[in-house]
A and B are shown apart, each in its own frame.
Chain A
Amino acid sequence: MIEVREVSFAYPNGVEALKGVSLAIQKGEFVAIMGQNGAGKTTLVKLFNGLLKPTTGEVLVDGVDTRKVSVANLAQKVGFVFQNPDHQLFCETVEEEVAFALRNFGLGKRTVQKRVKWALNLLDLEKYRQVSPFMLSGGERKRVALASVLAWDPEVIILDEPTIGQDYRQKERLQQFIVQMNAQGKTVVVVTHDIEFVAECTPRVMLMAQGNIIAEGDARKILTDQKLVTKASIVLPQVTQVFLGLMDLGLPGDVVNVQDARRALSDFLGVDS
């Protein structure tokens, strides 16, 4: 679906954000890109929908070089939800906001109405249909931003820091939602440094530091590797810390969330979970 080959990227002011990154994301995959601020995560995903074009190397989306097509064209395939909803909301009503992109893509009136209704329903925003997005709370605004992208049903969904500023309940709902979308065959890419969130979802994880991908693999493998995680300036999930501390008792070390822990403990104690 998305293929990045030997890509380097330098901003006009000379900052080298990516240094020879290669990766491939398959259709229907769920990937989390993690790393500290300034590691190049957002830059990397901005290459996926052509907002940025590689300085050297190439990015292929469905086999098409991103340098050869417009952002508007790529965006229909690759939806990008920005970190801060305040950077995109501008319409008078939530309904208009969700319809904005659909109109840009030139969909017919009937289709727009249908899609808007579907997206508002999906994110539980129907009651705010006629409300100004500026009157909503932070979490609601974030959902409007998400709805405005999901409305055109892109094959790939990129979420930049979706959990920032969300309370625990919202985070849990968001997580269910993402997992559900992925189960429906959508390719999902999440950029985050919220390790607990990633530990709950257990996607494929890519760790970034200083413009490079320093490790990638299954969440249970990456998130339990103390050395790697420290290199990317993040802290191990709390459950993992506990289990790493108990390894000398014979408990497994590759535990990242509560479900894992329950399974590991019941196996260890020989009881049915």
Chain B
Amino acid sequence: MSVFEGFRFRGVSSPVHRLDPRVKFLYVFVVFAVAIMFGELLPLLVLFFVPVPFVFLAGVQRQWLRSMRGASLFAIIIFATNFIFTYLSPGSIPGIEPPLDTASEYFLLLERSLAMTLRFIVLVESFSIFFLTTSPDRLSLALEQSRVPYELCFAFTTAVRFVPVLAEEAQTIMDAQRARGLELERGNFMKRVRNYIPILIPLIVNAIRRSLELAEAMESRAWGATEKRTNLYVLRMRRPDYGLIFASLFMLTFALYVRFSFPMPSIVALLSL
């Protein structure tokens, strides 16, 4: 469950936490777009280090590292599949003339696979910062003020809020079934999949039961009584927000400019290996 830990909001305050969620989302979107734009290692490395100051400013280093660690398994899979498939058809990488024979071509292959892995890590990294520093309440507020219907916002925040609850419950259910002799890691693939039935059924049944209870509790507190809701807190852009908007747009323009003006050199070529 450590992957979830890296996305769970913690109630602290920092300049990053106080940024408008909409602006932070713009920033994440820009990072996302730039990461998709480049397939080379060099710009992705730069992109990897861009959010690091934010992490320290927000004081969420530990949780952030944990989310990175949680993503490492997927990162390894991405690296392996990229390496294997580009190895099988190396012609798709600029600079490599098949067949693969020189050392520098192998380095290029390695660099390409690393770049794809880093692209994934950059995406996880920026989303992790977003969720670590944005409370579900403020996120909902941002959605509402972006004219998303309240029912949808509420469903979204409730879903987010119940992720840790469900994770904890899954753990308890696993314990209860293991205490009855269930061995999750035993048997062939199909058997292992079937081993999860005793975990999933109670988990789903309880989730449905809980959602019905939640609905009743909300209705008894007059949920949806007023057509036009107002909020105690209203999101307002402040100077740091405008700063981040400017920085994000600058980053996007700069990336577009670089992308379409220069051919991006590979690190292998730069070091002339």
Contact of A105 among B2, B5, B181, B205 (CB under 8 A): B181
Chain B residues, CB < 8 A from A84 = 172
Check: A31 CB closer than 8 A to any chain B CB: no
Check: A243 CB closer than 8 A to any chain B CB: no
B164 to chain A, nearest CB (A): 11
Q: Do the beta carbons of A101 and B181 come within 8 Å of each other?
A: yes
Given A87-B173, A100-B198, A71 and B2 contact (CB-CB distance below 8 Å): no
Q: Do the beta carbons of B197 and A104 come within 8 Å of each other?
A: no
CA A89 to CA B172, docked complex, whole Å: 13
Check: A234 CB closer than 8 A to any chain B CB: no
Q: Do the beta carbons of B198 and A87 come within 8 Å of each other?
A: no
Q: How many pairs of A and B residues are in contact by the CB < 8 Å rule?
A: 62
Q: Do the beta carbons of B202 and A75 come within 8 Å of each other?
A: no
Q: Do the beta carbons of B180 and A149 come within 8 Å of each other?
A: yes
Chain B residues, CB < 8 A from A90 = 197-198, 201-202, 205
Q: Do the beta carbons of A88 and B181 come within 8 Å of each other?
A: no
CA A101 to CA B198, docked complex, whole Å: 11
Q: Do the beta carbons of A148 and B178 come within 8 Å of each other?
A: no
Chain B residues, CB < 8 A from A101 = 180-181
Chain A residues, CB < 8 A from B182 = 72, 104
CA A101 to CA B202, docked complex, whole Å: 16
Chain A 91-128 interface mask (CB, 8 Å, partner B; 1/0) = 00000000011001100000000000000000000000
Q: Do the beta carbons of A82 and B202 come within 8 Å of each other?
A: no
Q: Do the beta carbons of A80 and B179 come within 8 Å of each other?
A: yes
Closest B residue to A13 by beta carbon equals: B5
Given A12-B2, A13-B5, A100-B198, A88 and B178 contact (CB-CB distance below 8 Å): no
Q: Do the beta carbons of B178 and A87 come within 8 Å of each other?
A: no
CA A155 to CA B31, docked complex, whole Å: 59
CA A86 to CA B209, docked complex, whole Å: 10
Q: Do the beta carbons of B183 and A75 come within 8 Å of each other?
A: no
Check: A46 CB closer than 8 A to any chain B CB: yes
Residue from A71, A100, A149 with most neighbouring chain B CB atoms (10 Å) = A71
Q: Do the beta carbons of B206 and A86 come within 8 Å of each other?
A: yes
Contact of A88 among B5, B180, B197 (CB under 8 A): B180
Check: B169 CB closer than 8 A to any chain A CB: yes
Q: Do the beta carbons of B172 and A82 come within 8 Å of each other?
A: yes
Q: Do the beta carbons of B183 and A88 come within 8 Å of each other?
A: no
Check: A163 CB closer than 8 A to any chain B CB: no
Q: Do the beta carbons of A134 and B205 come within 8 Å of each other?
A: yes
A17 to chain B, nearest CB (A): 14
Given A13-B5, A82-B172, A82-B175, A87 and B181 contact (CB-CB distance below 8 Å): no
Check: A244 CB closer than 8 A to any chain B CB: no
Q: Do the beta carbons of A89 and B202 come within 8 Å of each other?
A: yes
Chain B 146-178 interface mask (CB, 8 Å, partner A; 1/0) = 000000000000000000000001001101111
Contact of A104 among B180, B202, B206 (CB under 8 A): B180
CA A261 to CA B97, docked complex, whole Å: 95
Q: Do the beta carbons of A71 and B197 come within 8 Å of each other?
A: no
CA A100 to CA B2, docked complex, whole Å: 30
Chain B residues, CB < 8 A from A148 = 180
Q: For the A-B complex with A72-B183, A80-B176 known, give 6 more contacts whose Cβ atoms are closer than 8 Å.
A: A80-B179, A87-B172, A87-B206, A90-B202, A90-B205, A101-B180
Listed by A's residue number, 9 A-B pairs whose Cβ atoms lie within 8 Å are A13-B5, A70-B183, A71-B179, A75-B179, A75-B180, A88-B176, A88-B177, A104-B182, A104-B183
